[in-house]
Amino acid sequence: MSSSVSSSQHRREAKRAKTRETELSTSLGYTNESNPFGDSNLTSTFRWKKKEQFQEAAGVRP
């Protein structure tokens, strides 16, 4: 039973991600493939990895 729950959760998350990407490309007017910035990750969430590493080293939860 837990595998079906897990499977349905993965499908819902994938659907949400696809919907979010579509909404972003519509509102921005650009897609990951077609944008003047040459950024193939334009619609994905940006994370400050260095900031998170610094906070982790300082003992603060990011």
d(C-alpha 44, C-alpha 52), whole Å: 18
51 contact partners, CB below 8 Å, separation of at least 6: 62
Contact 43, 31 (CB under 8 A): yes
In terms of pTM, does the model score above 0.75? no
Q: Which of 16, 62, 61, 22 is nearest to 42 (CA)?
A: 22
Query: Chain centroid to CA 49: how far?
Result: 14
pLDDT tens, residue by residue, 5-58:
688 899 999 899 888 888 877 888 888 888 898 888 887 888 899 999 999 999
Task: Kindly report the number of other CB atoms within 10 A of residue 24's CB atom.
Answer: 15
